[in-house]
Protein backbone atom coordinates (compact mmCIF):
# COMPACT_ATOMS: atom_id res chain seq x y z
CA UNK A 1 0.00 0.00 0.00
CA UNK A 2 1.21 3.48 -0.86
CA UNK A 3 0.04 6.54 1.07
CA UNK A 4 1.67 9.93 1.44
CA UNK A 5 2.49 11.07 4.94
CA UNK A 6 0.72 14.36 4.30
CA UNK A 7 -2.49 12.55 3.41
CA UNK A 8 -2.20 10.61 6.64
CA UNK A 9 -1.68 13.91 8.45
CA UNK A 10 -4.77 15.50 6.94
CA UNK A 11 -6.88 12.47 7.85
CA UNK A 12 -5.64 12.05 11.39
CA UNK A 13 -6.16 15.74 12.08
CA UNK A 14 -9.82 15.32 11.20
CA UNK A 15 -10.10 12.31 13.52
CA UNK A 16 -8.32 14.05 16.39
CA UNK A 17 -10.36 17.19 15.85
CA UNK A 18 -13.52 15.16 16.33
CA UNK A 19 -12.32 13.84 19.66
CA UNK A 20 -10.68 16.98 21.00
CA UNK A 21 -12.38 20.35 20.67
CA UNK A 22 -9.21 22.17 21.70
CA UNK A 23 -7.46 21.30 18.45
CA UNK A 24 -7.13 24.27 16.08
CA UNK A 25 -5.42 24.20 12.71
CA UNK A 26 -3.65 27.06 10.97
CA UNK A 27 -2.20 27.14 7.50
CA UNK A 28 -0.43 29.72 5.36
CA UNK A 29 -2.15 29.44 1.98
CA UNK A 30 -0.95 25.89 1.36
CA UNK A 31 -3.95 24.05 2.74
CA UNK A 32 -4.30 21.95 -0.38
CA UNK A 33 -0.64 20.93 -0.30
CA UNK A 34 -0.45 20.23 3.43
CA UNK A 35 -3.87 18.54 3.40
CA UNK A 36 -5.12 20.65 6.32
CA UNK A 37 -8.06 21.74 4.15
CA UNK A 38 -9.78 18.53 5.23
CA UNK A 39 -9.86 19.77 8.83
CA UNK A 40 -11.08 23.16 7.60
CA UNK A 41 -14.01 21.58 5.77
CA UNK A 42 -15.06 19.65 8.83
CA UNK A 43 -14.35 22.17 11.59
CA UNK A 44 -14.42 25.65 10.02
CA UNK A 45 -14.61 27.42 13.40
CA UNK A 46 -11.31 25.90 14.46
CA UNK A 47 -9.55 26.42 11.18
CA UNK A 48 -7.68 29.58 10.21
CA UNK A 49 -5.97 30.30 6.95
CA UNK A 50 -3.46 32.97 7.86
CA UNK A 51 -2.45 33.85 4.32
CA UNK A 52 1.14 34.00 3.15
CA UNK A 53 2.39 35.15 6.54
CA UNK A 54 4.23 32.41 8.41
CA UNK A 55 5.60 34.57 11.20
CA UNK A 56 2.13 35.84 12.06
CA UNK A 57 0.73 32.31 11.82
CA UNK A 58 3.24 31.03 14.36
CA UNK A 59 2.60 33.94 16.72
CA UNK A 60 -1.17 33.49 16.45
CA UNK A 61 -0.72 29.83 17.34
CA UNK A 62 1.22 30.93 20.43
CA UNK A 63 -1.74 33.08 21.45
CA UNK A 64 -4.18 30.20 20.95
CA UNK A 65 -1.99 27.96 23.09
CA UNK A 66 -1.97 30.62 25.82
CA UNK A 67 -5.74 30.13 26.00
CA UNK A 68 -5.53 26.36 26.31
CA UNK A 69 -5.94 25.45 22.66
CA UNK A 70 -3.75 22.90 20.86
CA UNK A 71 -2.86 24.60 17.60
CA UNK A 72 -1.40 22.66 14.69
CA UNK A 73 0.47 24.96 12.32
CA UNK A 74 1.26 23.77 8.82
CA UNK A 75 3.09 24.93 5.74
CA UNK A 76 6.14 23.79 3.77
CA UNK A 77 9.08 22.93 6.00
CA UNK A 78 11.29 25.68 4.63
CA UNK A 79 8.80 28.42 5.44
CA UNK A 80 7.90 27.33 8.96
CA UNK A 81 11.33 26.23 10.10
CA UNK A 82 13.37 28.98 8.49
CA UNK A 83 11.26 32.02 7.76
CA UNK A 84 9.54 31.53 11.10
CA UNK A 85 12.52 30.17 13.02
CA UNK A 86 12.85 33.03 15.44
CA UNK A 87 9.12 33.15 16.07
CA UNK A 88 9.20 29.42 16.81
CA UNK A 89 12.10 29.95 19.18
CA UNK A 90 10.98 33.08 20.99
CA UNK A 91 7.18 32.99 20.93
CA UNK A 92 6.71 29.22 21.26
CA UNK A 93 9.72 27.39 22.65
CA UNK A 94 10.95 29.94 25.19
CA UNK A 95 7.56 30.17 26.93
CA UNK A 96 7.15 26.42 26.23
CA UNK A 97 3.75 26.76 24.62
CA UNK A 98 1.70 23.82 23.43
CA UNK A 99 2.04 24.40 19.68
CA UNK A 100 2.58 21.68 17.07
CA UNK A 101 4.38 22.66 13.89
CA UNK A 102 3.79 19.99 11.30
CA UNK A 103 5.46 20.73 7.98
CA UNK A 104 5.33 19.04 4.62
CA UNK A 105 7.55 19.15 1.52
CA UNK A 106 10.68 18.68 3.59
CA UNK A 107 14.11 17.71 2.30
CA UNK A 108 14.32 17.52 -1.48
CA UNK A 109 10.77 16.29 -1.90
CA UNK A 110 9.57 19.17 -4.05
CA UNK A 111 11.99 17.95 -6.73
CA UNK A 112 11.91 20.20 -9.76
CA UNK A 113 10.60 23.19 -7.81
CA UNK A 114 14.25 23.84 -7.05
CA UNK A 115 16.35 24.77 -4.09
CA UNK A 116 14.21 27.68 -2.85
CA UNK A 117 11.56 25.18 -1.83
CA UNK A 118 13.81 22.44 -0.49
CA UNK A 119 14.38 22.22 3.23
CA UNK A 120 17.54 20.50 4.35
CA UNK A 121 18.14 22.62 7.44
CA UNK A 122 15.03 22.25 9.59
CA UNK A 123 16.16 19.34 11.74
CA UNK A 124 19.38 21.14 12.66
CA UNK A 125 17.56 24.38 13.47
CA UNK A 126 14.78 22.78 15.48
CA UNK A 127 17.14 20.46 17.33
CA UNK A 128 19.10 23.46 18.58
CA UNK A 129 16.08 25.16 20.15
CA UNK A 130 15.54 24.32 23.83
CA UNK A 131 12.16 22.78 24.76
CA UNK A 132 11.55 21.58 21.20
CA UNK A 133 10.71 17.97 20.38
CA UNK A 134 11.70 17.00 16.83
CA UNK A 135 9.99 14.18 14.93
CA UNK A 136 10.29 12.81 11.37
CA UNK A 137 7.90 9.89 10.77
CA UNK A 138 8.79 7.29 8.17
CA UNK A 139 5.41 6.26 6.76
CA UNK A 140 1.72 6.98 6.88
CA UNK A 141 0.99 4.59 9.74
CA UNK A 142 3.67 6.13 11.90
CA UNK A 143 2.58 9.63 10.92
CA UNK A 144 -0.90 9.00 12.26
CA UNK A 145 0.48 7.73 15.54
CA UNK A 146 3.07 10.49 15.81
CA UNK A 147 0.50 13.23 15.21
CA UNK A 148 -1.77 11.71 17.87
CA UNK A 149 1.18 11.45 20.26
CA UNK A 150 2.12 15.07 19.55
CA UNK A 151 -1.44 16.17 20.30
CA UNK A 152 -1.33 14.33 23.62
CA UNK A 153 2.10 15.68 24.54
CA UNK A 154 2.17 19.00 26.42
CA UNK A 155 4.79 21.21 24.78
CA UNK A 156 6.23 22.38 21.48
CA UNK A 157 6.65 19.77 18.74
CA UNK A 158 8.19 20.11 15.29
CA UNK A 159 7.31 17.38 12.82
CA UNK A 160 8.54 17.06 9.25
CA UNK A 161 6.60 15.19 6.62
CA UNK A 162 7.39 14.55 2.98
CA UNK A 163 5.38 15.16 -0.11
CA UNK A 164 5.19 12.16 -2.37
CA UNK A 165 3.44 8.85 -1.98
CA UNK A 166 5.46 6.48 0.11
CA UNK A 167 5.00 2.76 0.71
CA UNK A 168 3.60 1.83 4.07
CA UNK A 169 6.24 0.18 6.24
CA UNK A 170 4.24 -0.71 9.31
CA UNK A 171 1.12 -2.77 9.72
CA UNK A 172 0.87 -1.69 13.30
CA UNK A 173 3.23 -0.06 15.71
CA UNK A 174 3.66 0.87 19.33
CA UNK A 175 4.61 4.47 18.98
CA UNK A 176 6.30 6.45 21.68
CA UNK A 177 7.96 9.83 21.19
CA UNK A 178 11.69 9.38 21.76
CA UNK A 179 11.71 5.61 21.41
CA UNK A 180 13.32 4.34 18.21
CA UNK A 181 11.95 1.34 16.31
CA UNK A 182 14.25 -1.46 15.21
CA UNK A 183 12.78 -2.50 11.87
CA UNK A 184 15.44 -5.10 10.92
CA UNK A 185 17.71 -7.03 13.21
CA UNK A 186 21.38 -7.51 12.35
CA UNK A 187 24.75 -7.80 14.07
CA UNK A 188 27.25 -6.59 11.48
CA UNK A 189 26.32 -3.02 10.77
CA UNK A 190 23.63 -0.55 11.86
CA UNK A 191 21.77 1.80 9.58
CA UNK A 192 20.05 4.57 11.51
CA UNK A 193 17.54 6.30 9.28
CA UNK A 194 14.80 8.85 9.67
CA UNK A 195 11.74 9.92 7.69
CA UNK A 196 11.44 8.85 4.07
CA UNK A 197 14.93 7.30 4.22
CA UNK A 198 13.87 4.43 6.47
CA UNK A 199 12.50 2.57 3.48
CA UNK A 200 15.79 2.90 1.59
CA UNK A 201 17.64 1.65 4.65
CA UNK A 202 15.39 -1.41 4.69
CA UNK A 203 16.02 -2.05 1.01
CA UNK A 204 19.76 -1.77 1.59
CA UNK A 205 19.52 -4.20 4.52
CA UNK A 206 17.73 -6.68 2.30
CA UNK A 207 20.50 -6.51 -0.32
CA UNK A 208 23.17 -6.81 2.33
CA UNK A 209 21.44 -9.87 3.72
CA UNK A 210 21.79 -11.52 0.30
CA UNK A 211 25.53 -10.96 0.72
CA UNK A 212 25.40 -12.50 4.18
CA UNK A 213 25.81 -9.18 5.95
CA UNK A 214 23.48 -8.56 8.84
CA UNK A 215 22.31 -4.94 8.80
CA UNK A 216 20.28 -3.60 11.69
CA UNK A 217 17.90 -0.83 10.68
CA UNK A 218 16.78 1.65 13.29
CA UNK A 219 13.91 3.99 12.49
CA UNK A 220 14.93 7.05 14.48
CA UNK A 221 11.64 8.87 14.15
CA UNK A 222 12.40 11.22 17.04
CA UNK A 223 15.59 13.24 16.66
CA UNK A 224 15.06 15.04 19.92
CA UNK A 225 14.98 13.62 22.47
CA UNK A 226 17.23 11.07 20.72
CA UNK A 227 16.94 7.42 21.76
CA UNK A 228 20.49 7.11 23.03
CA UNK A 229 19.96 3.57 24.29
CA UNK A 230 19.32 2.36 20.76
CA UNK A 231 22.60 3.96 19.65
CA UNK A 232 24.56 2.59 22.59
CA UNK A 233 23.26 -0.91 21.83
CA UNK A 234 24.19 -0.53 18.17
CA UNK A 235 27.67 0.54 19.22
CA UNK A 236 28.04 -2.53 21.42
CA UNK A 237 26.45 -5.04 19.09
CA UNK A 238 27.49 -4.00 15.56
CA UNK A 239 30.73 -2.93 13.91
CA UNK A 240 29.77 0.36 12.32
CA UNK A 241 26.93 2.88 12.03
CA UNK A 242 25.53 4.54 8.93
CA UNK A 243 23.11 7.42 9.30
CA UNK A 244 20.66 8.18 6.54
CA UNK A 245 18.55 11.29 6.26
CA UNK A 246 17.08 13.61 3.67
CA UNK A 247 18.76 16.59 5.31
CA UNK A 248 22.10 18.32 5.26
CA UNK A 249 24.64 15.94 6.83
CA UNK A 250 25.48 18.86 9.10
CA UNK A 251 23.29 19.22 12.16
CA UNK A 252 20.60 16.58 11.64
CA UNK A 253 20.31 12.88 12.43
CA UNK A 254 23.90 12.07 11.49
CA UNK A 255 25.21 14.76 13.76
CA UNK A 256 22.97 13.67 16.62
CA UNK A 257 24.07 10.04 16.32
CA UNK A 258 27.75 10.96 15.91
CA UNK A 259 27.57 13.16 19.01
CA UNK A 260 26.19 10.28 21.02
CA UNK A 261 28.76 7.80 19.72
CA UNK A 262 31.61 10.21 20.43
CA UNK A 263 30.34 10.93 23.94
CA UNK A 264 30.20 7.22 24.63
CA UNK A 265 33.88 7.07 23.69
CA UNK A 266 33.06 4.23 21.34
CA UNK A 267 35.60 2.94 18.85
CA UNK A 268 33.08 2.50 16.11
CA UNK A 269 32.97 4.35 12.81
CA UNK A 270 30.02 6.52 11.85
CA UNK A 271 29.31 7.37 8.20
CA UNK A 272 26.78 10.11 7.58
CA UNK A 273 24.71 9.84 4.41
CA UNK A 274 22.50 12.77 3.53
CA UNK A 275 22.66 15.94 1.50
CA UNK A 276 26.40 16.75 1.37
CA UNK A 277 26.17 20.44 2.32
CA UNK A 278 25.04 21.63 -1.10
CA UNK A 279 21.87 23.26 -2.37
CA UNK A 280 19.89 20.62 -4.17
CA UNK A 281 19.90 20.33 -7.93
CA UNK A 282 16.68 20.25 -9.97
CA UNK A 283 15.23 16.77 -10.46
CA UNK A 284 12.72 14.38 -8.97
CA UNK A 285 13.53 13.62 -5.34
CA UNK A 286 14.47 9.99 -6.02
CA UNK A 287 17.07 11.07 -8.56
CA UNK A 288 18.48 13.62 -6.15
CA UNK A 289 18.69 11.06 -3.37
CA UNK A 290 20.73 8.83 -5.66
CA UNK A 291 22.92 11.70 -6.79
CA UNK A 292 23.78 12.69 -3.24
CA UNK A 293 24.84 9.25 -2.07
CA UNK A 294 21.61 7.92 -0.70
CA UNK A 295 21.10 5.22 -3.31
CA UNK A 296 20.58 1.68 -2.07
CA UNK A 297 23.78 0.68 -3.92
CA UNK A 298 25.81 3.34 -2.16
CA UNK A 299 24.36 2.52 1.26
CA UNK A 300 25.44 -1.09 0.68
CA UNK A 301 28.90 -0.06 -0.52
CA UNK A 302 29.43 2.14 2.55
CA UNK A 303 28.23 -0.69 4.81
CA UNK A 304 30.72 -3.12 3.30
CA UNK A 305 33.55 -0.63 3.61
CA UNK A 306 32.68 -0.03 7.26
CA UNK A 307 32.74 -3.72 8.13
CA UNK A 308 36.09 -4.25 6.43
CA UNK A 309 37.89 -1.94 8.80
CA UNK B 1 -15.10 57.85 39.03
CA UNK B 2 -12.22 59.92 40.15
CA UNK B 3 -9.53 57.54 39.34
CA UNK B 4 -7.50 60.17 37.66
CA UNK B 5 -6.00 61.64 40.86
CA UNK B 6 -5.15 58.24 42.29
CA UNK B 7 -3.83 57.12 38.92
CA UNK B 8 -1.47 60.07 38.90
CA UNK B 9 -0.21 59.01 42.32
CA UNK B 10 0.27 55.45 41.11
CA UNK B 11 2.08 56.65 38.04
CA UNK B 12 4.50 58.64 40.14
CA UNK B 13 5.19 55.57 42.31
CA UNK B 14 5.76 53.46 39.24
CA UNK B 15 8.15 56.04 37.78
CA UNK B 16 10.12 55.81 41.03
CA UNK B 17 10.20 52.01 40.78
CA UNK B 18 11.42 52.23 37.17
CA UNK B 19 14.24 54.63 37.95
CA UNK B 20 15.29 52.66 41.04
CA UNK B 21 15.26 49.31 39.21
CA UNK B 22 17.27 50.59 36.28
CA UNK B 23 19.55 52.89 38.29
CA UNK B 24 20.40 50.25 40.88
CA UNK B 25 20.90 47.55 38.25
CA UNK B 26 23.01 49.91 36.18
CA UNK B 27 21.26 48.71 33.04
CA UNK B 28 17.84 48.97 31.42
CA UNK B 29 15.61 51.04 29.17
CA UNK B 30 14.32 54.08 31.07
CA UNK B 31 13.17 56.17 28.09
CA UNK B 32 10.49 53.86 26.75
CA UNK B 33 9.42 52.76 30.24
CA UNK B 34 8.71 56.29 31.35
CA UNK B 35 6.82 57.16 28.15
CA UNK B 36 4.39 54.27 28.61
CA UNK B 37 3.64 54.66 32.33
CA UNK B 38 0.19 56.26 32.05
CA UNK B 39 -1.02 53.74 29.47
CA UNK B 40 -0.03 50.61 31.39
CA UNK B 41 -1.06 52.06 34.75
CA UNK B 42 -4.51 52.94 33.43
CA UNK B 43 -4.91 49.47 31.97
CA UNK B 44 -3.99 47.58 35.15
CA UNK B 45 -5.66 49.90 37.69
CA UNK B 46 -8.88 50.85 35.91
CA UNK B 47 -9.47 49.06 32.65
CA UNK B 48 -8.47 45.43 32.87
CA UNK B 49 -10.43 42.71 34.61
CA UNK B 50 -7.70 40.79 36.42
CA UNK B 51 -7.16 38.92 39.68
CA UNK B 52 -3.64 39.44 41.03
CA UNK B 53 -4.28 36.66 43.56
CA UNK B 54 -5.12 34.35 40.65
CA UNK B 55 -2.81 35.48 37.84
CA UNK B 56 -3.89 32.72 35.44
CA UNK B 57 -7.63 33.28 35.93
CA UNK B 58 -8.96 32.15 32.52
CA UNK B 59 -11.52 34.92 32.17
CA UNK B 60 -9.05 37.73 32.77
CA UNK B 61 -8.25 40.44 30.28
CA UNK B 62 -4.73 40.07 28.93
CA UNK B 63 -1.90 42.48 28.42
CA UNK B 64 1.06 41.93 26.13
CA UNK B 65 4.07 44.20 26.39
CA UNK B 66 5.21 43.75 22.83
CA UNK B 67 8.03 46.23 23.42
CA UNK B 68 9.50 43.82 25.95
CA UNK B 69 12.52 45.97 26.71
CA UNK B 70 10.19 48.15 28.78
CA UNK B 71 10.05 45.31 31.31
CA UNK B 72 10.80 47.61 34.26
CA UNK B 73 7.54 49.43 33.51
CA UNK B 74 5.55 46.20 33.54
CA UNK B 75 7.27 44.92 36.69
CA UNK B 76 6.61 48.21 38.47
CA UNK B 77 2.92 48.10 37.56
CA UNK B 78 2.51 44.41 38.46
CA UNK B 79 4.18 44.91 41.84
CA UNK B 80 1.98 47.90 42.64
CA UNK B 81 -1.06 45.92 41.52
CA UNK B 82 -0.16 43.16 43.96
CA UNK B 83 1.12 40.32 41.78
CA UNK B 84 4.33 40.22 43.82
CA UNK B 85 5.98 42.38 46.42
CA UNK B 86 7.48 45.76 45.69
CA UNK B 87 10.63 44.52 47.48
CA UNK B 88 11.21 42.02 44.69
CA UNK B 89 11.75 44.86 42.23
CA UNK B 90 15.22 45.23 43.75
CA UNK B 91 16.20 41.98 42.04
CA UNK B 92 15.68 43.50 38.56
CA UNK B 93 18.37 42.16 36.19
CA UNK B 94 20.31 40.67 39.10
CA UNK B 95 21.86 37.18 38.73
CA UNK B 96 19.19 34.44 38.85
CA UNK B 97 16.39 36.98 39.16
CA UNK B 98 12.90 36.32 37.82
CA UNK B 99 12.89 39.91 36.66
CA UNK B 100 15.02 39.79 33.51
CA UNK B 101 15.56 42.60 31.07
CA UNK B 102 12.67 41.20 29.04
CA UNK B 103 9.62 39.61 30.68
CA UNK B 104 9.28 35.83 31.02
CA UNK B 105 5.70 34.59 31.57
CA UNK B 106 6.89 31.39 33.22
CA UNK B 107 8.84 33.25 35.87
CA UNK B 108 6.94 36.42 36.65
CA UNK B 109 3.37 36.22 38.03
CA UNK B 110 1.06 38.40 35.97
CA UNK B 111 3.13 38.43 32.80
CA UNK B 112 0.74 37.14 30.14
CA UNK B 113 3.32 36.59 27.40
CA UNK B 114 7.06 36.29 27.10
CA UNK B 115 8.33 39.09 24.86
CA UNK B 116 11.49 40.85 23.86
CA UNK B 117 12.08 40.18 20.21
CA UNK B 118 10.22 43.04 18.59
CA UNK B 119 7.27 42.57 16.29
CA UNK B 120 5.90 39.33 17.72
CA UNK B 121 3.32 40.54 20.26
CA UNK B 122 0.42 41.48 18.03
CA UNK B 123 0.21 38.04 16.43
CA UNK B 124 0.02 36.51 19.90
CA UNK B 125 -2.67 38.99 20.94
CA UNK B 126 -4.68 37.94 17.89
CA UNK B 127 -4.42 34.28 18.87
CA UNK B 128 -5.69 35.03 22.36
CA UNK B 129 -8.51 37.11 20.88
CA UNK B 130 -9.53 34.31 18.50
CA UNK B 131 -9.64 31.84 21.39
CA UNK B 132 -11.73 34.21 23.51
CA UNK B 133 -14.27 34.61 20.73
CA UNK B 134 -14.39 30.86 20.12
CA UNK B 135 -14.94 30.20 23.82
CA UNK B 136 -17.57 32.93 24.04
CA UNK B 137 -15.61 34.84 26.66
CA UNK B 138 -15.90 38.61 26.67
CA UNK B 139 -12.34 39.12 27.85
CA UNK B 140 -10.23 41.55 25.88
CA UNK B 141 -6.60 41.73 24.86
CA UNK B 142 -4.54 44.88 25.30
CA UNK B 143 -1.11 45.33 23.83
CA UNK B 144 1.57 47.99 23.86
CA UNK B 145 3.83 48.34 20.83
CA UNK B 146 6.80 50.63 20.35
CA UNK B 147 6.72 53.06 17.45
CA UNK B 148 10.06 51.78 16.16
CA UNK B 149 8.70 48.26 16.55
CA UNK B 150 6.16 48.74 13.77
CA UNK B 151 9.08 48.68 11.35
CA UNK B 152 9.00 44.89 11.75
CA UNK B 153 7.13 43.19 8.91
CA UNK B 154 5.36 40.76 11.21
CA UNK B 155 3.44 43.67 12.76
CA UNK B 156 1.77 44.31 9.42
CA UNK B 157 1.06 40.63 8.86
CA UNK B 158 -0.70 40.69 12.22
CA UNK B 159 -2.43 43.98 11.38
CA UNK B 160 -3.90 42.25 8.33
CA UNK B 161 -5.06 39.15 10.13
CA UNK B 162 -6.63 41.06 13.06
CA UNK B 163 -8.73 43.04 10.59
CA UNK B 164 -9.46 40.02 8.39
CA UNK B 165 -10.77 38.03 11.34
CA UNK B 166 -12.59 41.08 12.75
CA UNK B 167 -10.91 40.89 16.14
CA UNK B 168 -12.75 43.72 17.86
CA UNK B 169 -11.58 42.39 21.22
CA UNK B 170 -8.03 43.55 20.47
CA UNK B 171 -7.06 47.03 21.62
CA UNK B 172 -3.52 48.02 20.73
CA UNK B 173 -1.53 51.06 21.81
CA UNK B 174 1.50 52.45 20.05
CA UNK B 175 3.82 54.34 22.36
CA UNK B 176 4.52 57.09 19.82
CA UNK B 177 7.48 58.75 21.50
CA UNK B 178 9.22 59.28 18.19
CA UNK B 179 12.59 57.87 19.20
CA UNK B 180 14.33 54.51 18.78
CA UNK B 181 17.86 53.38 19.63
CA UNK B 182 19.56 54.90 16.62
CA UNK B 183 17.60 58.15 16.60
CA UNK B 184 14.23 59.65 15.64
CA UNK B 185 11.97 57.06 14.02
CA UNK B 186 11.36 59.32 11.07
CA UNK B 187 15.10 59.54 10.46
CA UNK B 188 15.92 55.84 11.02
CA UNK B 189 12.97 54.43 9.05
CA UNK B 190 9.92 56.60 8.68
CA UNK B 191 6.65 55.11 9.90
CA UNK B 192 4.34 58.03 9.07
CA UNK B 193 1.57 58.45 8.16
CA UNK B 194 1.01 56.02 11.01
CA UNK B 195 -2.73 56.55 11.62
CA UNK B 196 -3.50 56.29 7.91
CA UNK B 197 -1.52 53.08 7.65
CA UNK B 198 -3.56 51.38 10.36
CA UNK B 199 -6.81 52.77 8.93
CA UNK B 200 -5.87 51.37 5.51
CA UNK B 201 -5.23 48.02 7.15
CA UNK B 202 -8.82 48.02 8.40
CA UNK B 203 -8.38 49.17 11.99
CA UNK B 204 -10.34 51.70 13.99
CA UNK B 205 -7.77 54.35 14.89
CA UNK B 206 -7.80 56.81 17.79
CA UNK B 207 -5.10 59.38 18.36
CA UNK B 208 -4.50 60.66 21.88
CA UNK B 209 -2.05 62.24 24.27
CA UNK B 210 -0.58 59.17 25.91
CA UNK B 211 0.08 60.93 29.20
CA UNK B 212 -3.54 62.06 29.64
CA UNK B 213 -5.59 59.56 31.64
CA UNK B 214 -8.93 60.92 30.46
CA UNK B 215 -7.91 60.41 26.86
CA UNK B 216 -6.55 56.92 27.56
CA UNK B 217 -9.72 55.83 29.34
CA UNK B 218 -11.98 57.43 26.72
CA UNK B 219 -10.04 55.64 24.00
CA UNK B 220 -10.53 52.30 25.76
CA UNK B 221 -14.26 52.99 26.09
CA UNK B 222 -14.50 53.90 22.44
CA UNK B 223 -12.62 50.72 21.46
CA UNK B 224 -15.05 48.62 23.48
CA UNK B 225 -17.94 49.98 21.40
CA UNK B 226 -16.33 49.33 18.03
CA UNK B 227 -17.72 46.21 16.38
CA UNK B 228 -15.99 44.10 13.78
CA UNK B 229 -12.67 45.94 13.89
CA UNK B 230 -9.62 45.96 16.11
CA UNK B 231 -8.67 49.33 17.57
CA UNK B 232 -5.30 51.03 17.43
CA UNK B 233 -4.67 53.86 19.87
CA UNK B 234 -1.76 55.98 18.72
CA UNK B 235 -0.57 57.57 21.92
CA UNK B 236 1.72 60.54 21.52
CA UNK B 237 4.18 60.41 24.39
CA UNK B 238 7.44 61.90 25.58
CA UNK B 239 10.37 59.55 25.86
CA UNK B 240 11.85 59.70 29.35
CA UNK B 241 8.76 61.54 30.68
CA UNK B 242 9.17 62.74 34.27
CA UNK B 243 12.93 63.01 34.40
CA UNK B 244 13.92 66.35 32.88
CA UNK B 245 17.28 65.39 31.48
CA UNK B 246 15.85 62.25 29.85
CA UNK B 247 12.83 63.84 28.22
CA UNK B 248 12.99 63.65 24.44
CA UNK B 249 16.59 62.44 24.50
CA UNK B 250 17.40 59.38 22.43
CA UNK B 251 20.48 58.57 24.50
CA UNK B 252 18.20 57.46 27.36
CA UNK B 253 16.61 54.71 25.29
CA UNK B 254 18.76 52.02 26.83
CA UNK B 255 21.06 53.61 29.39
CA UNK B 256 20.87 53.66 33.17
CA UNK B 257 21.38 56.91 35.03
CA UNK B 258 24.43 56.88 37.29
CA UNK B 259 26.09 59.12 39.86
CA UNK B 260 24.76 62.66 40.12
CA UNK B 261 22.26 62.13 37.34
CA UNK B 262 20.81 59.13 39.15
CA UNK B 263 20.49 61.19 42.32
CA UNK B 264 18.87 63.99 40.36
CA UNK B 265 16.38 61.61 38.72
CA UNK B 266 15.40 60.21 42.10
CA UNK B 267 14.99 63.71 43.54
CA UNK B 268 12.81 64.81 40.62
CA UNK B 269 10.55 61.80 41.09
CA UNK B 270 10.40 62.25 44.86
CA UNK B 271 12.20 59.03 45.79
CA UNK B 272 12.88 58.91 49.52
Q: Which of A20, A60, A89, A90 to mutate to test the interface with B (most CBs of B within 10 A)?
A: A60
Q: Out of A15, A32, A41, A54, which one is annotated catalytic?
A: A54
Q: What is the CA radius of gyration of chain A?
A: 19
Q: Do B123 and A71 touch (CB under 8 A)?
A: no
Instruction: Examine the pLDDT at A257 and tell me if it is beyond 50.
Output: yes
pLDDT in tens, A112-138: 999 999 999 999 999 999 999 999 999
Cis upstream peptide for B225 (omega within 30°): no
Instruction: Examine the pLDDT at A276 and tell me if it is beyond 80.
Output: yes
Instruction: Examine the pLDDT at B1 and tell me if it is beyond 50.
Output: no
Average pLDDT over residues B47-67: 98
Taking CB atoms and an 8 Å cutoff, what residues of chain B touch A46? 134
Helix (H) or strand (E) holding B180: strand B179-180
Reported as a pLDDT band with limits 50, 70 and 90, residue A1 is confident
pLDDT of residue A166: 83
How far apart, in whole angstroms, are the C-alpha atoms of residue A135 and residue A126?
Answer: 10
Q: Do B123 and A65 touch (CB under 8 A)?
A: no
pLDDT in tens, B188-215: 999 999 999 999 999 999 999 999 999 9
Average confidence score pLDDT of chain B: 97
pLDDT of residue A165: 82
User: Active site includes A15?
Assistant: no
3-state secondary structure of A72: strand
How far apart, in whole angstroms, are the C-alpha atoms of residue A139 and residue A172?
Answer: 11
Reported as a pLDDT band with limits 50, 70 and 90, residue A309 is low
Average pLDDT over residues A137-155: 97
Instruction: Examine the pLDDT at B51 and tell me if it is beyond 80.
Output: yes
pLDDT in tens, B90-148: 999 999 999 999 999 999 999 999 999 999 999 999 999 999 999 999 999 999 999 99
How far apart, in whole angstroms, are the C-alpha atoms of residue A58 and residue A92?
Answer: 8
Helix (H) or strand (E) holding A240: strand A240-248
Q: Do A48 and B130 touch (CB under 8 A)?
A: yes
Taking CB atoms and an 8 Å cutoff, what residues of chain B touch A55? 119-120, 123, 153-154, 157
Q: Do B127 and A61 touch (CB under 8 A)?
A: yes
Instruction: Examine the pLDDT at B2 and tell me if it is beyond 80.
Output: no
Q: Which of B181, B173, B104 is nearest to B145 (CA)?
A: B173
Nearest CA in chain B to A64: B127
Q: In Å, what is the CA distance from A125 to each residue of A88, A159, A160, A248?
A: 10, 12, 12, 11
Instruction: Examine the pLDDT at B5 and tell me if it is beyond 80.
Output: no
How far apart, in whole angstroms, are the C-alpha atoms of residue B220 and residue A198?
Answer: 57
Q: Do A63 and B126 touch (CB under 8 A)?
A: yes
Nearest CA in chain B to A24: B131
Taking CB atoms and an 8 Å cutoff, what residues of chain B touch A86? 117
Amino acid sequence: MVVSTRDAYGDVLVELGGRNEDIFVLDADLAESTRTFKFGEKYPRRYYNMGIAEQDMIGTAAGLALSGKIPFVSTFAVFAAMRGAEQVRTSICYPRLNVKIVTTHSGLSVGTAGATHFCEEDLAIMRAIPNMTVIAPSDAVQTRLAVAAAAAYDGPVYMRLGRGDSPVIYKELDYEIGKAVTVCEGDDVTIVATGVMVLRAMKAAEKLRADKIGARVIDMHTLKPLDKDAIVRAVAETRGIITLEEHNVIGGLGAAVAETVAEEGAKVKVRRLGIPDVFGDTAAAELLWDKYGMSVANICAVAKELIKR
Amino acid sequence: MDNVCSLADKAQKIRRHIIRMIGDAGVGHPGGCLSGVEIVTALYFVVMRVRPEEPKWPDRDRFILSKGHASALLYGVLAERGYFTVDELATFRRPWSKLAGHPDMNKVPGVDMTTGSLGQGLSVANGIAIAAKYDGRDSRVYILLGDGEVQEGQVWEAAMSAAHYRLDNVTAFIDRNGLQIDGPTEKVMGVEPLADKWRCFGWHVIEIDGHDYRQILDAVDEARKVEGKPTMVIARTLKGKGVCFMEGKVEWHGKAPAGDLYEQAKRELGCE
